[in-house]
């Protein structure tokens, strides 16, 4: 049975999430971060992840992202630069996971579903091409999903069928990614970790510059 406190509490909780999402989507100075994050709870990288680069790379950058987040767009470009350089020798790879901030971005969940359909129809390569297109057209218009798909060589009919009949497995995947971020203490995007086997995860909250990411990678590799 609902009480008279249900609505006010919901408003307060929603307000905290929104405020946190806005705050943590801003670039941060790691030295001033006093959050209660627990990056050790990050889900291990698996074969079903969206990976750009060598799947057996020594360094894995795991990013939880929202396609309507402006800082995610900037960081997306930065990580492409990282992979283009540091990933050439196979030592660094990038994992992109869904963290739709539906509380502040009404289309975030739709974008995540569309990206997952691109992966379902055209595999890992299709996912990355579609993700790039969503960020390039930010704020992306859901009406144009079919156009975006065709632009990157994905069958429009197959994509439309997937999106119109979004499966429970597809939605569960998105929510699992989001929940894993929340479990670690994430309140916004981009929320990323540098993973190296045998070492504690290195947390990156917000959009970092190329030089900052490269420095953290070099430290992780012991360079």
pTM of the model: 0.85
Question: What pLDDT shows up at residue 35?
Answer: 56
Pairing of strands 202-205, 92-98: unpaired
More confident residue, 22 or 60: 60
d(CA 96, CA 119): 12
Q: Helix 108-136 and helix 70-85: axis angle, to 10°?
A: 50
Question: What pLDDT shows up at residue 82?
Answer: 96
**pLDDT band at residue 89 using 50, 70 and 90 as cut-offs:** confident
| Mean pLDDT score, 76-84 | 97
Stretch (H or E) spanning 217: helix 210-221
CB of 204 within 8 A of CB of 213? Answer: yes
User: In the sheet where 202-205 sits, what is the strand order?
Assistant: 50-53, 92-98, 59-65, 191-196, 202-205
More confident residue, 13 or 124: 124
Tokens matching residue 100? 């739709």
What backbone phi and psi angles, to 5 degrees, belong to 51?
-120, 130
What confidence tens digit (pLDDT) does each residue in 179-215 have? 999 999 999 999 999 999 899 999 999 999 999 999 9
For residue 83, the tally of other CB atoms under 10 A from its CB is: 18
What confidence tens digit (pLDDT) does each residue in 36-68 have? 899 999 999 999 999 999 999 999 999 999 999
Provide DSSP, 174-192: HHHHHHHHHHHT--SS-EE
What confidence tens digit (pLDDT) does each residue in 107-157 have? 999 999 999 999 999 999 999 999 999 999 999 999 999 999 999 999 989
d(CA 57, CA 8): 48
Which listed CATH number (3.90.230.10, 3.40.30.10, 3.40.50.300, 3.30.420.10) goes with 6-221? Answer: 3.40.30.10
CB of 110 within 8 A of CB of 148? Answer: no
**pLDDT band at residue 88 using 50, 70 and 90 as cut-offs:** confident
Is the model's pLDDT at 9 over the cut of 50?
Answer: no
């Amino acid at each position: 049975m609902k009480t008279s406190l249900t609505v006010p509490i919901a408003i307060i909780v929603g307000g905290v999430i929104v405020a946190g999402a806005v705050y943590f989507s801003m670039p941060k100075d790691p030295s001033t971060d006093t959050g209660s994050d627990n990056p050790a709870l990050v889900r291990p990288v698996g074969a079903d992840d969206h990976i750009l680069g060598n799947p057996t790379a020594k360094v894995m950058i795991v990013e939880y992202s929202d396609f309507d987040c402006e800082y995610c767009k900037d960081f997306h470009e930065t990580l492409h630069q990282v992979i283009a350089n540091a990933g050439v020798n196979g030592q660094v790879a990038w994992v992109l996971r869904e963290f739709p901030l539906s509380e502040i971005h009404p289309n975030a969940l739709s974008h995540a579903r569309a990206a997952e359909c691109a992966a379902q129809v055209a595999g890992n390569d299709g996912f990355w091409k579609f993700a790039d297109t969503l960020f390039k057209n930010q704020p992306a218009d859901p009406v144009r999903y079919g156009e975006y798909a065709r632009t990157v060589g994905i069958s429009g009919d197959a994509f439309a069928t997937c999106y119109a009949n979004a499966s429970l497995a597809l939605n569960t995947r998105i929510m699992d990614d989001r929940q894993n971020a929340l479990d670690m203490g994430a309140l916004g995007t981009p929320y990323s970790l540098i993973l190296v086997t045998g070492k504690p995860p290195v947390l990156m909250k917000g959009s970092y510059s190329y030089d900052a990411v490269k420095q953290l990678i070099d430290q992780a590799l012991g360079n």
